[in-house]
Amino acid sequence: MKTILLDTGYWIALCNPEKEKEKQNVVKHITKLIDGNNYKIIIPFPTLYEFLNSKLSRKGRQRFHLETELSKQKYEKVYDEKYRKKALENFFKQFSFVNYDISLVDEIIKEMIEDTTLKTDIIVTFDNGLKNYARSMNVEVIE
């Protein structure tokens, strides 16, 4: 069974199809994979924090089936305690000298990709930095 890790962008595209039209083919493809039987789906809790606090809460509390979606048994929600310290160190190492956006959530996801116990085979992300990192770790990218 292959493992798919979902980044925040997937949830944003899923919940905002009218604003994320160019990403709907990816959403449909991932939905089919999730509904199939051959994949385990990893949801890093930081991606839920990022999405729920920034995007969903600003939608005027528009009703969405996210609660039902997240209750699917295929989803494994992964807490980030194990990854926080190193991710924070990596964030601050980059913070002062990179000229692109960096994210603590992305640093945690990188740590999860490195965790061989999670065995991430595929990542769904629209973030160029995560795409490049995942590919460097031989993780398939769906974008």
Q: Which domains can be identified in the chain, with CATH numbers?
A: 2-142 (3.40.50.1010)
For residue 118, the SS3 value is coil
pLDDT in tens, 66-90: 788 888 888 899 999 999 999 999 9
Q: Is residue 62 predicted with pLDDT exceeding 70?
A: no
Is 44 in contact with 80 (CB distance < 8 Å)? yes
> pLDDT grade, residue 118 (50/70/90)?
very high
- Average pLDDT over the chain, rounded to whole? 88
Beta pairing, strands 39-44 & 140-142: unpaired
Model confidence, pTM: 0.89
Residue 30: name the closest of 48, 14, 52, 16 by CA. Answer: 14
The more confident residue out of 55 and 129 is 129
Q: Is residue 64 predicted with pLDDT exceeding 80?
A: no
